[in-house]
Amino acid sequence: MINIKTNDTWVLWPTNVCSSFFDVPANQVISGNKNFTIEMDFKINSISENSGERGTVISFNPDYFVLHYYNEQLSAVHMSTNGSKTHNFHRDLRGKISIGETHKLKIVNVEFSDFFVYIDGNKVLETKGFVETKDPQIFLGSETFPNNIKDLNSCDMDINEFKIFHNDELICHHDFSKIIHNKFVDLTDNCNFIHKL
């Protein structure tokens, strides 16, 4: 398990860390033209006082997906679909995420087709055409790079486990039990490190 403190930025961006040492860079499969699944067990402990109204659970940048927590009654997904460089798709999620409770998040993309989000086994979003992107970063507990915006929309959050599948093959797995050179080690040995910026 990892505890991400408010205003800390943790990222999965292996192509920036060790561009030639892995079989499958996990961030490269996070695109509308790839089959991928992300699974994450998380618990929000609190929202940063600097964040004001919301905290970010997970975010893909630069072409966009984000899951925000606002309050016990409201969370939301914002994302980009093909043909757009802005987050042109928005969906409110009512009563799906609570502070202090562990939730299971699952994000599924079917290449050039369907995109799904599940929370605790319940489908909360179904759409089509997730944007195709190159070299994305996956941020955990904050929305973007710390120097991009003063308010990271961050939260104090525990993550028990994080997995990425590509074509139903597990290519990235973190239980946050092993760390080397300030980077969490990918249990698949694919060098898909998660590190703090």
pLDDT of residue 7: 83
Q: Is the pLDDT of residue 100 over 70?
A: yes
Domain ranges of the chain: 2-196
- CA pair distance 197, 178, nearest whole angstrom: 18
Q: Which CATH number fits domain 2-196: 3.40.50.720, 3.40.1160.10, 2.60.120.200, 2.40.170.20?
A: 2.60.120.200
pLDDT of residue 21: 62
pLDDT digits (tens, 9 = 90+) for 107-152: 999 999 999 999 999 999 999 888 888 889 999 988 887 775 656 7
